[in-house]
Amino acid sequence: MKRLRIAVFGYHKLGIEVAKHLAPTPCELLVIDSSDDNLARAAERGHATLKCDYTDDLELARAGIGRDIDLIFCLLPDEAQNVFLIISARVLDERLTIVAVSDSPGSEQKLRAAGADKVIDPFDIAGRRISDLLVRPTVVDVLDQTVFGAADLEIAEVAVTREGRLAGRRLLDASRLAGGTLVIVGLVRSGLERELRFALEAPEYVLTPGDVLMVVGPAADVLAFRAEAAAGDAQRAI
């Protein structure tokens, strides 16, 4: 599988965090900033860096936008700069995935209008998390310590493929196939509708290629399940 190439624009408060969490994942990361100081700090932490003036399309193209960058994060300190960057990048590359961060209530619409695919609202997320801590402390605790923590449990997406063993089965049977150790939480149906449906809402649903299952379970079992889903029949044929 081709490694995702990601560019992070802006190495400030947010950029530092994003780069820190992206670095250990399987992707190629490039930190882009117009300030030498910020770039020096990024280099200290071992990130690949590039100095670039985001207002200049030529420089953006030189950074790889429109060529081999798959995804960019727009984390510049000023919203107007972000909007400018999003529009410039969108013009250069139609298929680029653009992720932006909103810092005020009205800015999400603006960023989306400029062409961002995904807008993250840090304050909204933090607020939700705080209220989760208040309303369901046990659940948050358990999830933090298992799924998000050091424990072996993980949450993963498994795609239903044409040749895999999952296609054509009912959702109910798919969970049996998972060997009893995985919990199938939900699925996203193939097609335009990208909305998550919960497994227990539609146990009779028949899986079709292109669906994505969301499962939780021990990492090893998730891997095994994924392998089986991807090429179950093919393996048996061999």
Partner 1 sequence: MTAAPAHHLVRCCYALAASPGYRRTKRFAYDLLENPASRLRPYFDMAMCALILATVGLIIHEVKNPPTPFTLVFEDTVMYVFIAEYLARMWVWNDSHRLVIEAWERAELLGLPFRLRPVLAALLRQKWAYATQPMAIIDLLAILPSYRPLRTLRFFLLFRVFKLFRYTRSINEFARVLAEKRFEFYTLATFIGFVVFASATAIYILEAHVETSHVNTLYDAVYWAVITIFTVGYGDIVPKTPEGRLVAIVLVVIGVAVISFSTSIVVNAFSEKMQTMRDRRLYADTEKLHDYVIVCGYGRVGEVVVDRLVATGTPFVIIDRHAKNILRAKAQARLAICDDAVRAELLGQVGITRGAKSILCVTGDDVTNLYITLTARQMNPHIRIVSRANKSETVRKLRLAGADHVVMPYEIVGLMAAEYIHQPVASMALSGILSGERGMAMDVVLVAAHSLLDGRRIADIGFAARRLTLFGVLAAPGAVQRPALIRHPLADGRDFYFNPPAAFTLQAGDQLIVLGRELSIQHLRAQVEASALARRPA
Residues in region 75-134 near partner 1 by CB under 8 A: 97, 99, 101, 104-105, 118, 120, 122-134
Least Å from the CB of residue 140 to partner 1: 7
Least Å from the CB of residue 237 to partner 1: 30
Count, residues near partner 1 per rule CB under 8 A: 73
Judged by CB under 8 A, the chain residues 149 through 208 that form the site for partner 1 are: 151-153, 155-157, 180-183, 185-186, 188, 194, 196, 198-201, 203
Least Å from the CB of residue 182 to partner 1: 7
Residue 4, token pair as written in the block: 């995702």
Listing DSSP states for 149-196 in one string gives: SSSSEEEEEEE--SSSSSTTSBHHHHHHHTTTS-EEEEEE-SSS---E
CB nearer partner 1, residue 183 or residue 231: 183
Residue 214, token pair as written in the block: 């969301």
Least Å from the CB of residue 181 to partner 1: 6
Q: Which of 91, 147, 206, 223 binds partner 1 (CB under 8 A)?
A: 147
Q: Which of 61, 87, 177, 212 binds partner 1 (CB under 8 A)?
A: 212
CB nearer partner 1, residue 59 or residue 119: 119
Least Å from the CB of residue 56 to partner 1: 26
CB 31 within 8 A of CB 47: yes
Q: Which of 214, 225, 228, 232 binds partner 1 (CB under 8 A)?
A: 214
Report if residue 48 touches partner 1, rule: CB under 8 A. no
Report if residue 137 touches partner 1, rule: CB under 8 A. yes
Least Å from the CB of residue 215 to partner 1: 9
Least Å from the CB of residue 63 to partner 1: 18
Phi–psi pair at 222, nearest 5 degrees: -65, -45
Give the closest residue to 74 by CA, choosing from 40, 50, 98, 92: 98
Residue 105, token pair as written in the block: 């209530």
Amino acid at 235: Q
CB nearer partner 1, residue 67 or residue 123: 123
CA distance 69 to 49: 14
Report if residue 62 touches partner 1, rule: CB under 8 A. no
**Bridge partners (DSSP) listed for residue 184:** 215
If one counts every other C-beta atom within 10 angstroms of the C-beta of residue 36, the result is 10
